[in-house]
Structure 1
Amino acid sequence: MIEATRIVHHRHGVPVYDYRSDQVTPPVSLLRFDRHAERGHRPHIHNFPVLLYVRSAGVVYVIAAGQVIEAAPPHRFESAVGVFFDPAALGDAGRAPWPAWRAHPLLFPFLHEHSGGVLELALPVERRPLWDSTIAAIEAELAQRQEGYRQAASAHLTLLLIDLARLAADVVGDLRRSGEPLLAEVFDVIDQRHTAPLSLRDVADAVGMTPGHLTTVVRRRTGRTVQAWITERRMTEARRLLAETDLPVGEIARRVGIPDAGYFTRLFRRNNDLSPRQWRAQPASLAR
């Protein structure tokens, strides 16, 4: 991965990356690959959207967030460029790393469920100059870093995402019809209430559904349960507090809605392969 990303934990031995959200890291990052890049590919997961544009093949790969990417796309990486970005580049509706960004209409293509987490889209010849010039403009902004470069890079990114949404119109339409607005509401409830005791029934009551039906819908669309998403939100906040504050572990547990510090420690270890103190003691390059 690139410097703008960081490993935050492992899921069953597979590294999980987040995009850094700070004032130093640009909201968009580009990575140009050579033809041998695929040899170094390893399974990984990232909690943010990624595009891979292979100019020589006229193909755009939409790489889903949260899924294990088992293999590199089949085309060779010759003339390929990866576009990595913090969903927050699109404004408050695109917060990262928590998946509330799934509610943003321009990010719907990244919620696909294609095999291996990779959706391949053919890019018509007449649209390739737009992609070439827009990516070049982002690259120039990142290289020069003049006043307002973050806003300019985000504006160019938005143009790419608009064109991507049009390319993926069928995928986006299916997602709109299959319950994404409900998921956005579920994530919003969890986001607002994860600092206090929160159960599946609480979330179900808030969105006006039975717990059983809500479980079915969320599992079908995300592969995970509501309780797993509650835990993920709490772990995201716990990792942030461990990295950015000196608060005692017991206080961090309380702040993420888990009053029992012992249970919090066991849950954190189960989800991150390290205890809270071990995670905090990692070098900054790994823990932040």
Structure 2
Amino acid sequence: MQLANRVAIPLRTLTLPEQTPEQQSIIVFHSTGSSNSQLSRPHSHTFFELFFVEEGEGWYSIGDRPIWAKPGDLFLLAPGEVHDPSGLDDATKWVVGFSAEALNPTRAEADMLLMLPDRLLNSFVQTENARTKHYYVPTEIRSRWLILLEQLKSELCDRGFGSTEATRALLILLLIETARLAASELPESKKSSPQARPIVKQVLCFIDANYRNSIGLQEVAKEVNLSPAYLTDMIRRETGKTVLSWIVERRMTEARRLLLETDLAVIQIAEAVGYCDAGYFSRLFRRLNGTTPQAWRVMYRG
């Protein structure tokens, strides 16, 4: 089958809708047919997304990779990943969007791999192969998924006593189901080793504590007493990203916070997150966030 040619549409980056403080970190969207034009075209998010097809078939694209989706298919999106669900406009689907605060209000996005049991969120990490984040929920367990999704949606709507805690617990259960599904489809040779996870945690903690300084692969490898080559292979295998990617991501997270919450000049922000060259920082920020630091500040403050 061939995808129909489409007129180019400006790419949008969506954020979680502004709600009360306890609501702003998660959304649940259940629909038959498209009821949001922003969601029914190529776009990316500043948050994580779980997209589950309940009924119907159609094309779903991650980046430039189209996949024919059917009932039971599950797609996982990390922040910043471009995807196009418009081929499933007429399908019945569930969308769960969440940020780090939904799991732990004191954590940043770069810390998510440290927050929960082994491999719980690894399946969301960006990879070169879109199919590694495309899973199938078998018919025999699909009712359990639908119950969890319905309960999650109900808690968000009702907002009764303990709803914040219940919402977090239900999201964690849903992510555990997702991680189990991902682990069951992963070749044995690619599964995480028990020895690797403490090193991943140590690497991410070191980056969090030192990203403001001039650090790179050599400094991180020295901290964990491994060769740069071996560490590079391990971190890429365990998380889907390189050590340098994690450093840049942590710096960009802090840069966005400073742009939003302070009036510091771009050159000051660049220095605050570890870049002595403000021009290089601005070019890198634009490549990763789609616009310049100053334009990002104006857009999000507006």
Specify the TM-score bucket, using the shorter chain as the normaliser: 0.7 to 0.9
Question: Among the aligned pairs, what percent are the same residue?
Answer: 33
- Tell me the residue number matched to 1:177: 193
C-alpha distance after superposition, 1:230-253 (max 9, x if no partner): 222212211111111122333322
Range with bigger deviation, 55-64 or 197-206: 55-64
- Tell me the residue number matched to 1:5: none
**Stretches of structure 2 lacking an aligned partner (at least 5 in a row):** 1-9, 56-69
From the superposition, tell whether residues 226 and 241 of structure 1 become closer, same or farther in structure 2 (CA, over 3 Å). Answer: same
C-alpha distance after superposition, 1:160-217 (max 9, x if no partner): 2233333333246744239565444332221221122212211111122222333344
Range with bigger deviation, 144-153 or 223-232: 223-232
Aligned mate of 2:139, from 124, 128, 131: 124
SS of 2:97's equivalent in the other structure is: strand
Aligned mate of 2:113, from 94, 97, 102: 102
Aligned mate of 1:205, from 205, 222, 234: 222
From the superposition, tell whether residues 217 and 129 of structure 1 become closer, same or farther in structure 2 (CA, over 3 Å). Answer: closer
Aligned mate of 1:157, from 156, 164, 171: 171
SS of 1:168's equivalent in the other structure is: helix
Aligned mate of 2:153, from 139, 157, 172: 139
SS of 2:192's equivalent in the other structure is: helix
Distance in 2 of aligned mates of 1:193 and 1:140 = 41
SS of 2:215's equivalent in the other structure is: coil
**Stretches of structure 1 lacking an aligned partner (at least 5 in a row):** 1-12
Q: CA deviation at 1:63?
A: 0.9
SS of 2:214's equivalent in the other structure is: coil
Q: CA deviation at 1:80?
A: 1.4
SS of 2:253's equivalent in the other structure is: helix
- Tell me the residue number matched to 2:97: 84
SS of 2:135's equivalent in the other structure is: strand
Matches within 5 A, 1:26-105: 26-36=24-34, 41-46=40-45, 48-56=47-55, 58-65=71-78, 68-72=81-85, 78-91=91-104, 95-98=107-110, 100-103=111-114, 104=116, 105=118
Structure 1 residue identity aligned to 2:130: S
- Tell me the residue number matched to 1:166: 180
From the superposition, tell whether residues 255 and 19 of structure 1 become closer, same or farther in structure 2 (CA, over 3 Å). Answer: farther
C-alpha distance after superposition, 1:216-275 (max 9, x if no partner): 444566665433332222122111111111223333223212244454344434444443
Computed over aligned residues only, the root mean square deviation of the Cα atoms, in angstroms, reads 3.7
Matches within 5 A, 1:258-277: 258-277=275-294
Distance in 1 of aligned mates of 2:83 and 2:145 = 26
The answer to whether the Cα contact below 8 Å between 1:27 and 1:89 also exists between their aligned partners in 2 is yes
C-alpha distance after superposition, 1:122-180 (max 9, x if no partner): 3333x333323322222222112224322111112222223333333324674423956
Distance in 2 of aligned mates of 1:233 and 1:138 = 30
Distance in 2 of aligned mates of 1:52 and 1:243 = 29
Aligned pairs, number: 270
The answer to whether the Cα contact below 8 Å between 2:122 and 2:239 also exists between their aligned partners in 1 is no
Greater helix share, structure number: 1
The answer to whether the Cα contact below 8 Å between 1:64 and 1:110 also exists between their aligned partners in 2 is yes
- Tell me the residue number matched to 1:214: 231
